[in-house]
């Protein structure tokens, strides 16, 4: 893979994993712009590396929260930390079940399906707009909320539906505190990313050659650094109710994607 391509795709993944504009949708758009020939057979490994980078950036940003949660769990009491982990586990179930059951069906939706990406970006825009208009509260995510948010995360497997946008918007529309909604959204995806990475590694489908080392390393660094920036920025934006700007962006990009797809069909 070309070094410039690796940097571009790394930045796209790092930014859009946290910003509510759909990382999968933007990666599809990025691949379409770069051209399929620029994405080699090793793209699965490259994708895994990028997701690993964004997972690490999440851990770095929330390192204090994660350490506090671990300390709380080690007390072996049904405290707030153990309840939080239990809610995270609950939220993973819908995505894990739906992802495993319909893996091939979801896979068919990827691969230059630009028109679908465009329509789903518009759906993402609607969710963001509604969430931005919701009143802020001090409410924590409940167990029932965790399941509903998990369903939203499962739906976000569709290219063009933002995972962070769908989960944060759903949480806020359920009446939860916006900052706590963002925190829950970002932490709930870490176990899923590592689970997906483990699955891909164990599947034996990943191929690595020494020639890929440079592009993989540069892509990893680009995704990690941009992920740190995007995660921090997104928390501040959610707290200040600035999601409408991303809603407008998603509508514009969605319309462009639909027009682009129609002209090239």
pLDDT of residue 195: 81
pLDDT of residue 222: 95
pTM: 0.83
The band of 51, judged by pLDDT with boundaries at 50, 70 and 90, is confident
Q: What is the mean pLDDT of the chain?
A: 84
pLDDT of residue 40: 45
pLDDT of residue 156: 87
- Residue 123 to residue 56: CA distance in whole angstroms: 29
The band of 129, judged by pLDDT with boundaries at 50, 70 and 90, is very high
pLDDT of residue 16: 85
pLDDT of residue 38: 46
pLDDT of residue 78: 83
Q: How many domains does the chain have?
A: 1
Burial class (CB in 10 A: 0-12, 13-18, 19+), 41: exposed
Q: Name the DSSP letter for residue 141.
A: P
Q: Are 20 and 128 in contact (CB under 8 A)?
A: yes
**Least confident residue range of 41-45, 133-137, 244-248:** 41-45
- Residue 137 to residue 120: CA distance in whole angstroms: 28
Q: Are 51 and 197 in contact (CB under 8 A)?
A: yes
Q: What is the pLDDT of residues 202-260, one digit of tens each?
A: 776 666 666 678 888 999 999 999 999 999 998 888 888 788 899 999 999 899 989 98
Number of H helices, E strands in the chain: 12, 0
pLDDT of residue 41: 46
- Residue 123 to residue 262: CA distance in whole angstroms: 19
pLDDT at 162 over 70: yes
| % pLDDT > 70, the chain | 88
pLDDT at 36 over 60: no
* Residue carrying structure tokens 């995270």: 88
Show the domain range for 227.
3-263
Where is pLDDT greater, at 39 or 76?
Answer: 76
Q: What is the pLDDT of residues 172-216, one digit of tens each?
A: 999 999 889 989 999 988 888 888 778 777 776 666 666 678 888
pLDDT of residue 200: 73
Where is pLDDT greater, at 25 or 79?
Answer: 79
- Residue 31 to residue 114: CA distance in whole angstroms: 10
- Residue 87 to residue 255: CA distance in whole angstroms: 36
The length of the chain in residues reads 265
Half-sphere exposure of 73 (CA within 13 A, CB side): 11
pLDDT of residue 265: 67
pLDDT at 123 over 90: yes
The band of 1, judged by pLDDT with boundaries at 50, 70 and 90, is low
Q: Are 137 and 239 in contact (CB under 8 A)?
A: no
pLDDT at 39 over 90: no
pLDDT of residue 248: 94
- Residue 177 to residue 47: CA distance in whole angstroms: 32
């Amino acid at each position: 893979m070309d070094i410039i391509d690796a940097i571009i795709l790394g930045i796209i993944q790092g930014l859009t994993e946290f910003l509510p504009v759909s990382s999968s949708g933007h990666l599809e758009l990025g691949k379409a712009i770069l051209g399929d020939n620029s994405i080699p057979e090793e793209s699965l490994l490259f994708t895994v590396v990028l997701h690993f980078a964004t997972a690490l950036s999440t851990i770095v940003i929330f390192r204090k929260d994660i350490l506090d949660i671990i300390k709380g769990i080690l007390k072996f009491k049904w405290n707030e930390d153990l309840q939080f982990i239990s809610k995270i586990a609950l939220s993973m179930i819908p995505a894990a079940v739906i992802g495993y059951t319909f893996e091939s069906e979801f896979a068919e939706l990827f691969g230059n399906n630009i028109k679908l990406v465009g329509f789903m970006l518009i759906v993402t825009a609607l969710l963001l707009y509604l969430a931005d208009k919701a009143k802020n509260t001090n409410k924590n995510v409940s167990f029932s909320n965790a399941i509903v948010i998990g369903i939203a995360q499962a739906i976000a497997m569709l290219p063009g539906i933002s995972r962070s946008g769908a989960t944060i918007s759903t949480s806020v529309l359920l009446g939860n505190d916006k900052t706590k909604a963002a925190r829950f959204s970002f932490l709930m995806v870490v176990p899923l990313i590592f689970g997906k990475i483990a699955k891909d590694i164990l599947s034996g489908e990943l191929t690595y050659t020494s020639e890929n080392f440079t592009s993989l390393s540069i892509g990893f660094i680009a995704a990690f650094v941009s992920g740190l920036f995007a995660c921090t920025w997104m928390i501040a934006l959610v707290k200040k109710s600035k999601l409408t700007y991303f809603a407008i962006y998603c509508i514009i990009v969605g319309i462009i994607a639909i027009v682009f797809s129609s002209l090239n069909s």
